[in-house]
Amino acid sequence: MPADYLPTDQVTVLADPGPFGFNPARTALLLIDMQRDFVEPGGFGETLGNDVSLLQAVIPPLRQVLAATRAAGMTVIHTREGHRPDLADCPPAKLNRGSPTMGIGDVGPRGRILIRGEYGHGIVDELAPLPGEVVIDKPGKGSFYATDLHQLLQTAGITSLVVTGATTEVCVHTTVREANDRGYECLVLADCVGSYFPEFQQAGLAMITAQGGIFGWVAPSAAYLDALSAVSPATASAATDGERS
């Protein structure tokens, strides 16, 4: 949906450990690694024995958040974890990890695993990037290392991030830590981040808000949608449409 209204009022989300205030014109929604291979049944993630239903559960609330954020005219950024086909950007320390039977670059159920351009490397259809939305291809867990994310955010005048995606304790957490060190204010939406392991979902969120919010804030997506609709009423209907479509 094309944005015709970009609220610049300060928006306040009821969050933990306290209110999270942000200016929509200086805030980006980050969708981390919602790729077919991690999220979809029959993909690489499930092949390794993981319960992908825990990541599937993220899609409906995240669709609402995505639709409302687009309706508000805010910046939307997607990331994908993956490597060049020749693995020139995959350190041995990463390549030699994980399952001995199926690793990075091997042929998996959705194409070569974690290789850019393969079907499984793509973002799930429900959250597909629109033309003009930035897609960051990252070789690591963090979205900042060896990418131009920081430069893009600086150029766009972004100071705050609303963070969503997978998985909570790995790529989401690493990215939030990087963002925090770089001076960005981060709000993590609890029901829009997912982990294969419920224990780590909980521990990951708790680590963010520990010690008065050492890495940022955590809130349910409903609190974010409520806050956004207060300054941009169009976002409320967009969120509802996003849920249905």
Partner 1 sequence: MAPLPGEVLIDKPGKGAFYATQLDLVLRTKSITHIVLTGITTDVCVHTTMREANDRGYECLILSDCTGATELGNHTAALRMVTMQGGVFGCVATSEAVLAATTTGDHHAG
In 179-203, which positions are buried (b, 16+ CB within 10 angstroms) versus exposed (e)? bbeeebbbbbbbbbbbbbeeebbee
Residues 5, 119, 210, 243: which binds partner 1 (CB under 8 A)? 210
- Nearest distance in Å: CB 100, partner 1: 8
In this structure, what DSSP letter does residue 168 have?
I
Rounded to a whole number of angstroms, the minimum distance from the CB of residue 145 to partner 1 is 5
Does position 47 bind partner 1 by CB under 8 A?
A: no
Binding positions for partner 1, 146-185, rule CB under 8 A: 146, 169-170, 173-174, 177-178, 180-182
- Nearest alpha carbon to residue 38 among 102, 107, 140, 110: 110
> Segment contacting partner 1 (CB under 8 A): 68-76, 119-127, 136-144, 185-193?
136-144
DSSP letters spanning 56-97 = HTTHHHHHHHHHHHHHTT-EEEEEEE-B-TT-TT--HHHHTS
H/E element holding 241?
helix 234-244
Q: Which of 73, 120, 122, 140 binds partner 1 (CB under 8 A)?
A: 140
Residue of 56, 109, 191, 200 that binds partner 1 (CB under 8 A): 200
**Residue from the set 98, 117, 157, 198 that interacts with partner 1 by CB under 8 A:** 98
Interacting residue with partner 1 among 197, 226, 236, 240 (CB under 8 A): 197
Chain positions 2 to 41 lying near partner 1, rule: CB under 8 A, are none
Nearer to partner 1, 70 or 177 (CB): 177
Out of 145, 156, 231, 236, point to the residue binding partner 1 (CB under 8 A). 145
- Pick the piece of the chain touching partner 1 (CB under 8 A) from 21-29, 105-113, 202-210, 228-236: 202-210
Closest approach of Cβ 171 to partner 1, in Å?
Answer: 10
- For 16-55, letters b (16+ CB in 10 Å) and e give beeebebbbbbbbbbbbbbbbbbbbeebbbbbeebebebb
In terms of Cα–Cα distance, which of 2, 151, 133 is closest to 79? Answer: 133
CB of 141 to partner 1, least distance (A): 6
Query: What is the C-alpha radius of gyration for the chain, rounded to an integer number of angstroms?
Result: 17
Tokens, residue 14 = 């009821």
Segment near partner 1 (CB under 8 A); pick from 55-63, 85-93, 118-126, 127-135: 85-93
Query: Can you give the three-state secondary structure of 180-201, one letter per residue?
Result: HHCCCEEEEEEEEEECCCHHHH
Burial label for 102, CB within 10 Å (0-12, 13-18, 19+), is middle
Binding site for partner 1 (CB under 8 A): 48, 91-94, 97-99, 139-142, 145-146, 169-170, 173-174, 177-178, 180-182, 197, 199-200, 203-204, 206-207, 210-211, 214-215
